Each structure stands twice: as structure tokens, then as C-alpha cells.
Structure 1
Amino acid sequence: MINHATILERIDTRPISSPPSIRHRSLSEPCLPARLPSTAVIRREANLAAPKSLLAQLVRDASHKTDSLKEAMSTKITITDSPPQPQVPSQEFSSTSPPSPLQRIFSLARITKANEPWKDPEPWEVLRAVENKNVNYLMEVRDRAFHALVRPSGGVTPLIHAMHIGKSHHDVAIILLGAFSRYINHLDEMDFAKKETRSLLVSLRGSLKVAIDYGLQSSQSDLLASFLQTLVMSEGDTWIQEQVKLVGIALRQGPSAHPVDVARSSVKRVATRALGKAPLIADLEDYISNAAVDLLMMGAWSLALESFSGDRIPPYYFARDDRVYRVFVERLDQHRDDIDRRLSGRLKSQLATLRSALRGRARSWHVSPFPSSFYKEADFPATRAKLNCWNQILMTPDSACILHILSIVSR
């Protein structure tokens, strides 16, 4: 049995509660929402908030890099050979107006996109870049996928495509030619031995040969000398050394072997048959004469080194201004005693003739008249008639001048 006395007593003593009050319903009143801010206000607020967000992001990145650096310094590093990663070109803002915060954010997005894996361009993309004169894209292709600049599409390479368009794209052709020259200059003998490099050079030479033929057909002769120079450079030092040996053999045999013709034909043989039948082009003839004279000096000096020890003329000086001539003269002065004692009379005359005839030559590579001391330096019998004959052939290309002189001193 349960005792509920306490509960009943509490209920009996609790005061009676008042009835609940009725809550009156509030009347509805019309309201107008605030209008949205204008575009100018939104842009102003964004310009104010963006630097703070960008600064916070930079702080987070810096702290993350600091933590990564500390972790890397405390970790043992294992060095492994890995291919170099392509460098991403830096993005620069215009110097006329400072970049806004929104532009900075967009530039970060562009840099992030640039860090994405590179995909080799399609041939039509390179041709479109040539048409649009998109030099920046062509330079990126040069650095990341050089083979795309010499790869034909529909039988047309980017260089030929630029020449087909006409004079308006002459600067694009020069840029492509500069890319070819830059690529070749960065190769060494080990690179020339690689199969991939040889295959790429074959495509490059084919593009240049077609460009030479097309330039002759369309009378676009202003770049022919540069085409031929790049074509000769692509043959490498091995080709230069082989031609020096051939010219040296012709010099040893004397005038009957026509050493000047051998030197000139060696340079022309690099190009196509159309070049051999082409009319006289000043710049092209200048380069051929310059290269032929360099082969003659290098060939004559190689014959001299068979009788005494000395330094050879570096092959990378070939057909580059008057570098070969300057080194040639230095070698002659350095080994003057060895030349007088050990060389044959014919070879001494050939060396003296080359030195005297090419003294003071200008860019046209035409030789100047003999100085008064020439006959003494050449040390060979000469008559007044031969001197008059020489004066009559002045202002002719190097081939005729040097061939005439060599025919005299070799008798």
C-alpha cells in the first residue's frame, strides 16, 4: 500500500493558475527588399578583397614551402639522373599600367595552365602559327618540340609555307631559319652520332634544300646564302674535315687538280643541282667564295702539319667571317722557322700566296691588289707580265683570283 499524502497535500496547497492570455495576431505590412549593388560596387569590393586573399594564399604557400624545405633538409637525398624539365616562360605584365588584383588572379591561372604536361603540336597547328605570325608559339615549339618545325604536312614544311605566303611572312622565315641555326649550334659530336639526331638533321636538310630550290624558282634570293650556310653547318665537323682532306690532296697535286674548283664544288655539292645551274647571286657567291677560300687555307695548313707538329685550324671557324684567315696568319707566324726549313717550295709559295692575296679582304670576299712585299714573301719567280695579268683580273670572285695565283706559284 502506497502513501500519497504528500502529493495530495502539495496539490491542495498549489495556487490556481490564471487562464492563458490570448496572443494577438500581428498585421502584415508590405516591405521592399534592398536593391542589389551595382557592377562598379561589386568590382570595387572585389579589388579590395582580392589582395587580402592573394596575400593570404602567398603566406600559406610560403609556410608550406618552408615546411617542405625543412623536411627535405632533414631527409637523406638520393641523386638520380633525370631528364631536365622544360622551363616555363615567365609572364610579365605591361609596363604602361599596373596590374589589377583580378589580373593577378587570372595570371596565376595562366601559369597553372602552363605547368600542365606539354603535348606535341599537330602539323596544322604549326602551319597556322606561321600564318598568324604567332612567334611566341613558334619559339615554344622550338624549345619543346623542335621536330615539329621541320616535319612536313601535305608535303609542305613550315619554312616553305612561310615562303609560299610571300614577303609579308619574310620575318617568320627568318625566325624559323634562326631556330634551325640555334639547334645546330647546340649540337656536339656525340649528338651527331645519335640516330634520332641524324634523322632530324635529314629532315632539316631536306627542308633547306627545298627552300633553296623554291627561292631560285620564285626569285626569293635574299635568304639563299643563309639557307646554304645553315645547310653546311648541319653537315657537322666530320664533313668539314673530309673536304679539307680533298682540297689538301688537290693542292699537293698542283694546278692540274684545280684545287679552287674542288673547294667550290665541295660547298655547292651540299645543296641541290638547281644551285649549280643558278645565275650569279651576289650574296650566295660571296658565301661560296668565302667557304672555298677557308677550305683552301685549312687544306694548305693540314699539308704543312704533315711535316711538323702544330695546332689545326678549328673546324667550327669554317665560313664564319674571317676567323679562319686570322688563325691561319697566326699559325704561319708561329711556325715561320719550321715552314722555311721543312716545307717544299710549292707549299711555301701556296701558303704565302693565300696569306698575301687574302689580306684585307672585305665582306664581298674580293681580294685586294698585291702589296709591294708580296713577291718577296711568296719567294717565287715572277715577271712584269704576270703582275699585269693579275691587275687585269682584279674585282673578280675569289675563285678566279686564287686559281690564277695558284697556277702561277705552282709552276
Structure 2
Amino acid sequence: MLNLSGWLDALAQTEKTPHPRRRPLPTAPCLGRPLPSNDQIDRHAERRANQARKQHILDSSLASAVDTPLAEDPPPAELSSPPVGSSASDNKSFFGSLGRRSSVGLNKKGRYEPFEVLRAIEKKDIMLLHEVKMSQFDLLVTGTPLPLVYAMRLGKSHHDVAIILVGAMSRKVNDTSDDELALMQSSTKATLRALRANLKIAITASLSLPHDLGDTSLLSSFLQVIVMLEGSRFLLSSTQTLSLALRSPRESKPVETAQKLMHKWVSRELKERQVASVEEYIANGVGDLVLLGLWSIVQDQVKEAETIPLWFFARDDRIQKAVEERLSDLRRTSPAALSRLSRTVKAQLDTALEILGQRSLNGRERVEKLRRALDEGKKV
């Protein structure tokens, strides 16, 4: 019989002996998904920065543009049909391709509501926006949020709608009638203030109008609204300054003075790079300031001379035509009164009208020619 007790005792002692520890594996973590590359991180950061910058522009524009209160509840505009002279091609060039007509309709009073305008912007219902523009324009420039800001916040997909709204505002400035400006009722003033705020937002956000409306149309419309609202003080002061300068043109340089006045006024409203974009508007304004200064002298010498409305300022050749019409009326109705006009003023007036009437030249060329004639006394 085998005695295995010794072997079993040895085996028991072996099991109690601890096994040596194995060497740990080297640390090598493995990610289930790779980290983005530096280029991807940069693109994502740039995209987020652009979004934040755009939001900041909108917020700062709303805070700074509306420096005068808008009409909280503008008076209802009467429904009217489109002008007889307007054509389908004009509407197409202005509004682009017409969107699909939505089911939004008029309320019981035959008027649209602000929420319907916002819904039309969402759905790109250009036809409804056109109808609102023709019948209730104030809905496009008032409300909370402003329709333009609402369209901008919807992003790139609604950029064309924002451009359409800006184009409608620019057209409204040009279509404001002389009677409306002469009466300047509270409703007209509220609309102009709303236009100024909206155009300021569009300029701050660097929105541009379609090419067929001109690159400077937005800036020019903004400046024109300011003239309509609060340009009287600037124009009256400038007219008085130029009327004095024109009495001694060689020493006072009236055209050069008008250029400085215009640049100073425009620079107060626009940034430097934007001022360079409205050189034609500035040149037109310089010519108008000179004519207003001359007409102020005419009124001092000829009491029968009628006043020129200040809202004609920088609106194409409105000032020039107004001067020519009033001179023609004086020749027809009061030739004796017109004969009291000094020979110097007659010569200056004839020279200015002749040069500014040369529409084959651009604005800067006409102003330079006028400067040589009046400031330097050269024959042109």
C-alpha cells in the first residue's frame, strides 16, 4: 500500500504559495470614434463665430437704429389698387419670381394682420407681401419683431425675402409725394421714422439691393429719409453759409464749402467706406446746396421769388427744375422785379444752371466744372 501523505502535504504547501504577478499591459486606450481634425474644429468655430456675430449685429441694430419711437399702432391705410402706370415687368423686377399664394386672407375689416405678414415671410408668399405693400405698407416696417429682422433671423433661406422688403422700403422713400411731405402729418412722420430704423438695420447688416436697383440705392434712400425728417436745420444753415460765400466767391470758395458741408453731414450718418459709395449722391447734394444759396440771394433781392421746398434736396434734378420754373414764372409775371437782380447773381445763376444741366457728365465732373467756374472764375 502506497503512503501518499507526504506528497499531499507538499502539494498543500505549494497551493498556499502565492503566484508571481504578471507584468501589466502597457496603457494604450482606444477610442470608439476618432477626434475631429484641426481643420474641422476651425471650420466649426468659424461657423459659430459667424452666427454669434450675426446675432450681435441684429441686436445692436435694434438697439441703436430705433432712436425715435415708432408708431405702436399706425393708422390704417386705405385699400388702393396698384398705380395705373405700373407694369407687370416692373413688379417682376422688383419682387422677383412670385411665390405660391397662401391661404391667408383679409379679416372682417378688409385688412391684414401683423402675424399674417410674418407668416407670409416664413412661407415666402411674395404675392401677399406685394398686396400688403400696396395697401398697408406700415405693416412691413412696424411690429414686434420687425418683418425685416424676422426675415433676417430665418437665415440664408429667407435672404431673398429680406432683400424684397428692403427694396420695398427704398421704393417707398422715392414714391413719397410732395403733398405728403408738405403736410407732414403724424402718420407720414411715423412711417418715415420706421423707414429710417429699418434702413439703418439693413445697412448695419450689410444687406444690398438687387443689381438693377443700383448698388447705392439703399444708402441714398437712408440719407433721403433723414433729409425728409430732420434735414431742415442742416439745409437752412448750409443755405445761409453758401449765400454769404457766393457774395465773395474768390475768397470764400462756395463750391468747395458746399463739398465740405456735404461730406461732414454724410459722414455723421454713414461709415467712411459707405461714404465712398454715395459720391454721386454727395455731388448731387453739392450742386443743390449751391443753387439753394443762389436762390436765397435772389429772394433777398426779389421779394416776389417763391421759396423752394427743402424736401426737393438731392432728389435727382428737382432743385434745378424748381429754380428754372420760378425764374420762368418771374420773367412772365414780374419782369420788372426780376430786373432788380444784380448782374453778378444773374451770371452765377446762369452758369450754375448751365453746368448742372449737363447730364452727359457724372456728378463729380459737374461739381468740378462748377468749382472752376465759381470758385476760380474760369470760363468753362
What's the TM-score bracket when you normalise by the shorter of the two chains? 0.5 to 0.7
Q: How do 1:7-406 residues align onto structure 2 when only pairs under 5 Å count? A: 86-87=78-79, 114=106, 116-117=108-109, 118=111, 120-122=113-115, 125-130=116-121, 132-142=123-133, 145-151=136-142, 153=144, 157-158=148-149, 161=152, 165=156, 168-169=160-161, 170-182=163-175, 187-192=180-185, 194=186, 197-215=188-206, 222-229=214-221, 231-233=223-225, 235-236=227-228, 239-240=231-232, 243-253=235-245, 254-255=248-249, 259-260=254-255, 263-264=258-259, 265-266=261-262, 269=265, 273-278=269-274, 280-281=276-277, 284-308=278-302, 309-315=304-310, 317-332=312-327, 334-335=330-331, 341-343=340-342, 345=344, 347-362=345-360, 365-366=362-363, 396-406=364-374
Give the letter aligned to residue 299 of structure 1: G
Q: 1:155 to 1:145 in 2, by over 3 A?
A: closer
Give the letter aligned to residue 361 of structure 1: R
Structure 2 distance, partners of 1:326, 1:209, is: 30
What are the Cα deviations for residues 355-384 of structure 1, in whole angstroms up to 9, with x where unaligned?
A: 23224323x634xxxxxxxxxxxxxxxxxx
What are the Cα deviations for residues 189-223 of structure 1, in whole angstroms up to 9, with x where unaligned?
A: 4434x3x5544432321222232343389999944
Structure 2 distance, partners of 1:171, 1:261, is: 39
Aligned residues: 271
What are the Cα deviations for residues 29-75 of structure 1, in whole angstroms up to 9, with x where unaligned?
A: xxxxxxxxxxxxxxxxxxxxxxxxxxxxxxxxxxxxxxxxxxxxxxx
Structure 2 distance, partners of 1:228, 1:261, is: 22
What are the Cα deviations for residues 258-287 of structure 1, in whole angstroms up to 9, with x where unaligned?
A: 543554544873675434443633xx3222
The one of the two structures with greater contact order (alpha-carbon pairs below 8 A, sep at least 6) is 2
* Residue 138 of structure 1, CA deviation: 1.9
RMSD, aligned CA: 4.6
What are the Cα deviations for residues 116-140 of structure 1, in whole angstroms up to 9, with x where unaligned?
A: 1346313xx5345345442332234
Give the letter aligned to residue 342 of structure 2: L
Q: 1:330 to 1:158 in 2, by over 3 A?
A: same
Indicate the SS of the match to 1:325. helix
* Residue 243 of structure 1, CA deviation: 0.5
Task: Compare 287-296 and 221-230 and name the one that shifted more.
Answer: 221-230
Give the letter aligned to residue 148 of structure 2: T
What are the Cα deviations for residues 63-108 of structure 1, in whole angstroms up to 9, with x where unaligned?
A: xxxxxxxxxxxxxxxxxxxx99944879xxxxxxxxxxxxxxxxxx
Give the letter aligned to residue 280 of structure 1: A
Give the letter aligned to residue 300 of structure 1: L
* Structure 2: unaligned runs, 5 residues or longer: 1-74, 83-102
Give the letter aligned to residue 401 of structure 1: K
Please say if residues 181 and 230 of structure 1, whose CA atoms lie closer than 8 Å, have aligned partners that are also in contact.
no
What are the Cα deviations for residues 220-261 of structure 1, in whole angstroms up to 9, with x where unaligned?
A: 994433442354146438735851552243232345555435
For the pair 1:408 / 2:340, whether they are aligned, the reply is no
Per the alignment, residue 100 of structure 2 pairs with none
- State the TM-score, normalized to the length of structure 1: 0.51
* Residue 162 of structure 1, CA deviation: 9.7
Percent identity, aligned pairs only, is 23
Structure 1 distance, partners of 2:342, 2:201, is: 45
Structure 2 distance, partners of 1:185, 1:158, is: 30
Q: 1:242 to 1:153 in 2, by over 3 A?
A: same
Please say if residues 129 and 137 of structure 1, whose CA atoms lie closer than 8 Å, have aligned partners that are also in contact.
yes
Structure 2 distance, partners of 1:127, 1:230, is: 24
Q: 1:332 to 1:146 in 2, by over 3 A?
A: closer
Please say if residues 152 and 158 of structure 1, whose CA atoms lie closer than 8 Å, have aligned partners that are also in contact.
no
Give the letter aligned to residue 211 of structure 1: A
* Residue 304 of structure 1, CA deviation: 0.9
Indicate the SS of the match to 2:349. helix
Q: 1:152 to 1:263 in 2, by over 3 A?
A: farther
Structure 2 distance, partners of 1:293, 1:164, is: 42
